[in-house]
Amino acid sequence: MKKQPGRFRKPLDPEALAYSSSLAVDRRLFREDIEGSIAHVTMLARQGIVSAKDARAICNGLRAIRKEIESGGFWVKASGRGANRLAADDVHMAIEQRLIETIGPRGGLLHTARSRNDQVALDERLYLRSAAESVRREARRLQKALVRKARAYRTVVMPGYTHLQRAQPVLLAHHLLAYVEMLERDRERFADCIRRAARSPLGAAALAGTPFPVDRAGVARDLGLAGIVENSLDAVSDRDVVIECIAACAITMMHLSRLAEELVLWNSTEWHFITIGEEFTTGSSIMPQKQNPDMAELVRGKTGRVYGDLVALLTVMKGIPLAYNRDMQEDKEPLFDAVDTATASLRIMARMLATVSFDRDRFAEELRHDFLLATELADYLVRKGMPFRKAHGVAGEIVRECAASGLSLPDLPLERYRRFAEEFREDLYAVLDPHASVARKRSAGSTSPKEVEKALHRWEKKLS
């Protein structure tokens, strides 16, 4: 057997290599890896660490490899056998090996003054920059879809709920705009993630820095980053920006799951508030009548996957001493899965929502047969001078009376109202109307038509 160079004399066991290889996962970082490598070798030449001629050859070779990968012609054998123990078990070594094959031994100059530890940390930060922005774009598309739907149904009043019990009338547009607000905070979280990720770890090397006169800040500028991760240990040993991105994905998915749950409920025969377009529903293999809201259900289900991604990486990181440990290789699958799932879920929700129609008549019917206006009774009595706590009790007794009699609040005669409080007058019935109820709201951000119209205008302007 040919003697291997370096510390080791035996090749890595093939099963150990297969078990430890991350190439199948991290190969999608090839663009970021090449972008970071070009910036790194350009800096090495600028600092006189490698020659300008060698740097040009390396940069040209890296660009050729990028085209080769994009065209599908790139293939690396991760064997662990032969003279090089550092086989292509990850995207970094795959590209470096291909570079050496392409331009010869000077391709080995690329790794001067860096380690795979700071290299992968940089790749991930560059990936986060584009991935988080992609999620932000999809969230914006869903916001637009919600605003368009709210505008189309801006005069429709629906039952508002707490505890999944009917509470007070609200405008349907107000309900939909609540999700627009949630998604805006999601977009802000991803923007914060991008800001914190925009620091270059390159130059930290394995953990202690490098004796070469590298220009860390210059590399950061070349890559469009805001600065460097100052502490070399911190630069290679933490994944908090990755965790933050997954956490933002998890919160976004939680919001999507709540919307999906409402679409599932509202689409049911029992509620029948909405109809989802056939192109986003499926049938049954045995029951011909079924039209199932599968896309909404899948969004709801995939939310658990993203939660799992977050818990997985938090668990990986919780007991790792400084600095780099191989455990950290396990950060990429959760990251990619969370970003891919959140991006796809936002996109499918926006497309599905565009096909949803709301049943105006059904909303009107449901508003007639419940005690949604009980709070209006209490507020009426307060305006007549009664303390709210007493008015609340009176309204509760009236609801009990109506429920026992099978009457709605507008159907109860005035004389029976006056048995509970002499403050009731004929003007009471003017307030027992859902549209009048929402119109009377005055507080900023309320469900009043005036406030909802202001919100619609604000969002239409912001999202245009």
Q: pLDDT tens digit string along 436-457?
A: 999 999 999 999 999 999 999 9
Burial of 9-46, coded b for 16+ CB within 10 Å and e otherwise, reads eebbeeeebeeebbbebbbebbebbbbbbbbbbbbbbb
Tell me the DSSP string of 356-401.
-EE-HHHHHHHHHSS-TTHHHHHHHHHHTT--HHHHHHHHHHHHHH
Unique residue bearing structure tokens 């679409």: 263
> What integer is the mean pLDDT of 310-337?
96
Question: Which residue spans within 90-156 are E strands per DSSP?
Answer: none
| Alpha-carbon span 374 to 220, nearest angstrom | 61
Q: Return the minimum-mean-pLDDT range out of 69-73, 84-88, 160-164, 428-432.
A: 84-88
Quick: pLDDT tens for 393-421: 999 999 999 999 999 899 999 999 999 99
**Average pLDDT value over all residues in the chain:** 93
- Residue 282: predicted pLDDT: 85
> What integer is the mean pLDDT of 354-364?
95
Coil, strand or helix at 440: coil
Quick: pLDDT tens for 211-263: 999 999 999 999 999 999 999 999 999 999 999 999 999 999 999 999 999 99
Residue positions annotated with a catalytic role: 163, 284
Domains in the chain (CATH in brackets) are 14-112 (1.10.275.10), 117-364 (1.20.200.10), 368-453 (1.10.40.30)
- pTM, 2 dp: 0.92
Coil, strand or helix at 141: helix
- Residue 78: predicted pLDDT: 41
Do the Cβ atoms of 242 and 124 come closer than 8 Å? yes
Element (H, E) at 271: none
- Residue 86: predicted pLDDT: 45
- Residue 5: predicted pLDDT: 62
